[in-house]
Copies of this chain bind each other. A is one copy, B any other.
């Protein structure tokens, strides 16, 4: 469990609920924040990188500084957006898919195309497994060699550790920082570990699922319920011998999606084919993404989705936090193993076990 996810110790009663209570910034702290903020909104990659590192930190004081910086960037962004009629300036796209779907190659090709068209593209990764696997799976610069040398792109590997809640929070805050630094397209990629795909779907404007042209068991890597979250499905590697199976998969997903419940009243999920190798279909994929964005912006659904996401994100952080507070409570820790065992064996009902644990929690 990440220390950031434990209930903070009561230091003082919070009356003014804002970052205003963090007023005792020392001279060096003020200078650091000023430097980071100015570098960041000036679009300097080094300042962006340093700011994201600050947001990722476990150090209590630095975490507070990160929140002050984030507040300033949010204020800057709101000002910019209000000049833009309240329309979000950046487009947040989540990308997911089973291993072997070719996520990195796809991002490399799409990213290069977008920077070539004058966009600034950042790539973030969510991979809660990276603490154990060494973080080699995603957002790996060595797998996006060209994009990582592109001055209009910024690639950030996955944070090194933390629970899903912690990683999610960090990524959400990194998105804000990237946008403050002028990146108008933010790509968030993930593998299907645990609930990470759902977490990513909950933080982006558009969720794209990449599927390789393979059938049956190979597709078992796709998380249950995630297909229904996709606004767009891209069948990858659609070149050479793989065109016929890619077409078949495209047809199958097209019919399957018809049976699934729609997420939006104005957008029907589409299934397209593309090849990162021949580039075929890549401009069309982007065209579909732009068409999604325009549709959702003009119906107001994109703005509404972002607002709902903010609330969901706040509540899921609270939930994770209060539950870990419960689990760490001495009386609960003492009673839990035996009660859990008795519940599993069917000796007592789960309802009674819950009552008894809650009683133990409330009584001290």
What is the interface of chain A, defined by CB distance below 8 A to chain B?
Answer: 7-14, 17-19, 67, 70-71, 74-75, 77-78, 169, 172-173, 176, 216, 219-220, 222-225, 227-229, 252-253, 255-256, 258-263, 306-307, 310-311, 313-315, 317-319, 321-323, 325-326, 331, 335, 338-340, 343-364
Contacts and interface: CB of A to CB of B under 8 A. Distances in A.
A261 B253 CA distance: 14
A17 B346 contact: no
Contact of A311 (B307, B315, B325, B350): B350
A351 B356 CA distance: 32
27 contacts: A8-B362, A9-B362, A10-B363, A11-B363, A14-B356, A17-B338, A18-B356, A19-B352, A70-B351, A173-B349, A220-B261, A227-B259, A256-B256, A256-B260, A306-B346, A311-B340, A311-B350, A313-B351, A314-B343, A314-B357, A317-B351, A317-B354, A319-B319, A321-B354, A322-B325, A322-B326, A322-B361
Given A7-B358, A19-B352, A363 B13 contact: yes
A25 to B, nearest CB: 16
A355 B67 contact: yes
In the complex this chain forms, how many copies of it are found? 2
Nearest to A306: B346
A319 B358 CA distance: 10
Contact of A222 (B223, B261, B359): B261
A225 B259 CA distance: 11
B10 A359 contact: yes
A315 B364 CA distance: 20
A353 B8 CA distance: 13
Contacts of A349: 67, 70-71, 74, 172-173, 176
A353 B327 CA distance: 22
Contacts of A326: 318, 322
B216 A74 contact: no
B261 A252 contact: no
Contact of A310 (B18, B78, B344): B344
Contacts of A13: 363-364
Contacts of A220: 261-262
Contacts of A224: 225, 228-229, 260-261, 263
A263 B326 CA distance: 31
A321 B253 contact: no
A4 to B, nearest CB: 9
A309 to B, nearest CB: 8
A352 to B, nearest CB: 5
A258 to B, nearest CB: 7
Nearest to A349: B70
A351 B313 CA distance: 8
A66 to B, nearest CB: 9
Contact of A321 (B70, B261, B325, B358): B358
Contacts of A262: 220
Contacts of A9: 362
Contacts of A323: 318-319, 322
Nearest to A320: B354
A172 B351 contact: yes
Please indicate which of the listed interface residues A229, A262, A313 has the most CB atoms of chain B within 10 Å of its own CB. Answer: A313
A355 B55 CA distance: 14
A352 B310 contact: no
